[in-house]
Amino acid sequence: MADASLSTHVLDTTTGRPAAGLAVMLERDGTVIATAATDAEGRVRELGASLAAGRYRLVFEVRAYAADAFFARVALDIELGGGHTHVPLLLSRYGVTSYRGS
């Protein structure tokens, strides 16, 4: 049943600004099923729509966004159920924080 959707928002806490132009991928079972880049507000409003419930990997290509970042890539394994899931990422040069938003 395809009833899940996903969005994300990346904020660069080093600069205090949205992380515009950061590449994001959505994977399932090792296969990339969606790609996007964050907009000027650091958002990907719809990375996936009509997704089946289950486990996915959300990948942020940090090094391409910030060459001096400690983390080259941040990958989050998430479990999608029904409805919409929003996953914010707070990013600094030496740290990351994420949570399930609304």
pLDDT digits (tens, 9 = 90+) for 5-61: 999 999 999 999 999 999 999 999 999 999 999 999 999 999 988 899 999 999 999
Whole-number pLDDT of residue 19: 97
Whole-number pLDDT of residue 48: 86
If one counts every other C-beta atom within 10 angstroms of the C-beta of residue 25, the result is 17
DSSP per-residue codes, 61-98: -HHHH-TT-S-S-EEEEEEE-SEEEEEEEEE-SS-EEE
Whole-number pLDDT of residue 82: 86
Tell me what percent of the residues of the chain surpass a pLDDT of 90.
90
The mean pLDDT value of the chain amounts to 95
Question: Which secondary-structure segment (H or E) carries 57?
Answer: strand 54-60
Tell me, yes or no, if the pTM score tops 0.85.
yes
